[in-house]
Amino acid sequence: MSFSVDPDASNTTGSKPKVDVPILKDLTIDNITENVHRINSQADDARLKYVLERLVSHMHDFARETRLSTKEWMAGIEFLTAVGKKCTDVRQEFILLSDTLGLSLLVDSIDHPKPPASTEGTVLGPYHTHDAQDKSAGTNISADPDGEPLLCLCTVKSTTGEPIPGAKIDVWETDSKGVYDVQYEDYSGEKPDGRAVLRSDDQGVFWYKAIVPVPYRIPNDGPVGVMLEKLKRHPWRPSHMHFMFEKEGFDHLITALYLRGDPYETSDAVFGVKESLIVDLGTVNAEQAKKYDIKEGSKLLTYDFVLVTDEDTKKLRDAEAMKAMKALGRDRMKILEGLPVPDVD
């Protein structure tokens, strides 16, 4: 039941490789999936083949299980097109879609498993940029005069409690109106605001000044906003500050801290809140005010971040992947560069 697809197949001097592919004819609701798998299995890359196989299976099962109508399919095509059209250099509507359907948090959880003693990760969101400038300890990341001043005193350590010096730490937050710098029309990238790149010192300490985060709406003037409205979901995110840690030998940590008592603490539009990431803000005392050059009584955020080594992360990720494959009844899988692929060789 296979057939050489090369139109020059009869030309025995032809130099094109002949590939055996299934006969693609008379495809039906019941047999199309296996045939799409077969034609896609010509790819060289084992991982690509596996990902495509799962993608096509789920997409087809989705259509079969819903009995998706042509009208609904077309609405889907139009929705995805509108999402694509909404994307710009500073707005990623597909990430927003992924965030609001819980996919982003799920992928982060799979890719960056955390042992109990470490800092949990959460969604990156669409507003991280590479415009933030390197700043020294004590910098004020916010130029917003209307924000409520906040002193941030943090440390970064390993799971064994050792300080991690020289970690690169990206921090970013909105202004007091709940708007990121990139969301302003006149944003050029030259004057980033509400963001900085910091380094931890020999004691693993990093500290800076910022403003108290406020809740904000994810951009809901696009197709994702329309979707949320149809689902009767609000577009709010609870007050938070983003953090991204990079340090050789340690797993990349993308996380955020949330303020306790926020009205959206338990209904985050992008599912990012974790109890371990909720903080109670303190108050700057006289000694701290003097030491850190900030008004006594200002709000104070303290947090000790714990990074996991690449090695521990890899072990945990591989073990969880194999466990998941077993639970799925997929016994003949192996882990290749940290990702499961069929073990067919």
Measured distance CA(195)–CA(127) in Å, rounded? 10
Among 11, 14, 18, 43, binds a second copy (CB under 8 A): 43
Does 292 bind a second copy (CB under 8 A)? Our answer is: no
| φ, ψ dihedrals at 183, nearest 5° | -80, -10
- Contacts of a second copy in 98-117 (CB under 8 A): 98, 101-112
Q: Quote the distance between the C-alpha of residue 83 and its chain's center.
A: 18
Question: If you search the block for the tokens 């403003």, which residue do you land on?
Answer: 211
The minimum distance between CB 56 and a second copy, in angstroms, equals 6
220 lines the binding site for a second copy (CB under 8 A): no
The reply to whether 65 sits near a second copy by the rule CB under 8 A is yes
Question: In terms of Cα–Cα distance, which of 236, 248, 273, 341 is closest to 105?
Answer: 273
**Cβ closer to a second copy: 84 or 297?**
84
Return all residues near 333 (Cβ < 8 A) that are at least 6 apart: 322, 325, 340, 341, 342, 343
Contact 173, 241 (CB under 8 A): yes
* Options 14, 18, 69, 249; binder of a second copy; rule CB under 8 A: 69
Rule CB under 8 A: say whether 271 interacts with a second copy. Answer: yes
For a second copy, the binding residues in 159-178 under the rule CB under 8 A are none
27 binds a second copy, rule: CB under 8 A: yes
Check binding of 302 to a second copy (CB under 8 A): no
Contact call for residues 254 and 277 (beta carbons, < 8 A)? no
With respect to a second copy, which residue has the nearer C-beta, 107 or 137?
107
Cross-strand partners of 140: 209
Q: Are 310 and 250 in contact (CB under 8 A)?
A: yes
Q: How far apart are CA 16 and CA 43, in angstroms?
A: 16
* Using rule CB under 8 A, residue 193 touches a second copy: no
Integer Cα distance of 160 and 23 in angstroms: 58
Radius of gyration (Cα) for the chain, nearest Å? 25
How many residues contact a second copy, by CB under 8 A?
93
**Quick one: angle between helices 93-100 and 223-230, nearest 10?**
20
Q: Which is nearer to a second copy, 60 or 135 (CB)?
A: 60
Stretch that binds a second copy, among 88-96, 144-152, 283-291, 307-315 (CB under 8 A): 88-96
Length of the chain: 345
Contact status: 279 vs a second copy (CB under 8 A)? no
Residue 15 touches a second copy, criterion: CB under 8 A: no
Closest separation between CB of residue 24 and a second copy, Å?
Answer: 6
Q: Which of 184, 263, 297, 304 lies at the binding interface for a second copy (CB under 8 A)?
A: 263
Distances (CA, A) of 188 to 39, 129, 171, 181, 184: 46, 12, 19, 9, 9
Site for a second copy in 307-336 (CB under 8 A): 317, 320-321, 324, 328, 330
Determine if 137 is a binding residue for a second copy (CB under 8 A).
Answer: no
12 binds a second copy (CB under 8 A): no
259 binds a second copy (CB under 8 A): no
Q: How far is CA 72 from the centre of its chain?
A: 29
189 binds a second copy (CB under 8 A): no
Member of 14, 18, 62, 166 binding a second copy (CB under 8 A): 62
Q: Which 229-248 positions form the footprint of a second copy (CB under 8 A)?
A: 230-234, 236
Applying CB under 8 A, which part among 38-46, 190-198, 205-213, 241-249 lies near a second copy?
Answer: 38-46
Q: Scan for tokens 């909404």, then name that residue.
A: 86
